[in-house]
Homo-oligomer: A and B are copies of this chain.
Amino acid sequence: MSSLDLSHCQELDRQDPLAAVRDRFVLPEGVTYLVGNSLGAMSKDVPARVQEVVATEWGQGLVGSWNTAGWFDKPLTVGDRLAPLIGAGNGQVVVGDSTSINLYKAVGAALGMRPDRAVVLSEAGSFPTDLYMLQGMTAWTGRHRLELMDADRGNLQQMLTPDVAVVVLSHVDYRTGELLDMQAITEQIHAAGALVVWDLCHSIGVVQMDLAGCDADFAIGCTYKYVNAGPGGPAFVYVAPRLQAEAQQPLSGWHGHKAPFAFVTDYEPGEGVSRFRISTPPIVSYAPLEVSLDMFAELDIAQVRSKSEALTGLFIELVDQECGGFDLEVVTPRDAGRRGSQVSLRHPRAYQVVRALMERGVHGDFRSPDVLRLGFAPLYLRFEDVWDSVVALRAVLEGEEWRSHPEPQLTAVT
């Protein structure tokens, strides 16, 4: 096979049906941004929309904007607009709060629906906040306990005992970039009589998915990665329609009440998914998300996924071709159907390599202890950027440029 080169990458860019989308984003000069899996870049339409919310809706409309500007129902109306990204429909998604809080709602509701089962099952390699929240929750009720399957989930079936009420899984593993088979695993969990909560943080916006078709029970996720909704943009929770009458979550704030403005003393859960609301939503932070959802509404998510697969595939091929012999290991599955939109590379000096890449304008991410995590956001990355990043990586490794950067300083955990 002849080797891949820059002109090949440029040809891919010329053929890319999404190439023009890049122009709709602000991207700093001289930066190849491979951290869109942590914080997505900003659409150029964001500043004007935020300005409108602040100066017009708040400044002029004042408290009346809770009605006239549709503020009060943002968690539901924006939820309906986000739903197509995850294969859901109207009345199934609430947007608001953080991923951690939405996890609490979903797992709390699931536990309430399986009162004779005590176990929350998750994965040892889960993003830590999921584990921490589940630890806090099970310690708090005292009647539940958290069990963890192996990081590679190889013992899922074995751990699906009759005492498992709910299983929490990440659709894409944040370390390895592995994409799980939502349909098959959901079936497997249901066969054991348990419910599932899918964490979509690392798949929403880049992976086609069909929560309804997979018969998933609950899903949660954030919007600030591939959905580009800005730092700490509101998170979301999905509740399958067939569960909505029964599902009740423990964070029962007034916006989830059946009649929030009746100011009655006793909580009564609202209709449908609205009971997954808690309280006053952070309106200004919704604006960038709305801009992003406007953009997604114009895009074909199949094209987005296809470009994502092509970007990550090209990166892996180029690493093989250019960076052999440098102690790099591709952690992410080589089968495109089994990976999200990131490529993780293991290297004993991963932290230092990330720092050195940054000096060359390639922004990547480090995950302790030894993983370089590179996200490929298909809306604003070019195939040429993939080429540039591999050239930079080769230079850093070949010249041992990482040596001039300090070892990681992590706060010790006693």
Name A's B-contacting residues (CB within 8 A): 26, 28, 31, 33, 35, 38-39, 41-42, 46-47, 50-51, 54-55, 57-60, 62-66, 71, 97-101, 104, 108, 124, 128-129, 131-133, 135-137, 139-143, 148, 222, 224, 230-234, 249-268, 278-285, 287-288, 363, 365, 367-368, 410-414
Contacts and interface: CB of A to CB of B under 8 A. Distances in A.
A409 to B, nearest CB: 10
Given A108-B140, A263-B368, A99 B63 contact: no
Given A42-B58, A141-B141, 17 more contacts: A35-B62, A57-B231, A98-B253, A98-B278, A101-B251, A128-B257, A136-B267, A140-B140, A224-B280, A230-B283, A231-B283, A231-B284, A232-B283, A259-B412, A262-B410, A283-B285, A285-B285
Contacts of A135: 252, 266-267
A279 B54 contact: no
A268 B128 CA distance: 11
Contacts of A55: 26, 42, 46-47
Contacts of A35: 62-63
Nearest to A112: B140
A264 to B, nearest CB: 5
Contacts of A266: 131, 135
A250 B140 contact: yes
A200 B267 CA distance: 22
The residue in A59, A262, A282 that gathers the most chain B C-beta atoms within 10 A of its C-beta is A282
A279 B63 contact: no
A19 B268 CA distance: 45
How many copies of this chain? 2
B267 A65 contact: no
Contacts of A412: 259
Given A135-B266, A136-B267, A278-B100, A71 B231 contact: yes
A63 B132 CA distance: 23
21 contacts: A28-B62, A39-B66, A42-B54, A46-B55, A47-B55, A50-B50, A57-B231, A100-B253, A128-B264, A129-B279, A132-B267, A135-B266, A139-B250, A224-B280, A231-B281, A231-B282, A232-B285, A262-B368, A262-B410, A263-B368, A284-B288
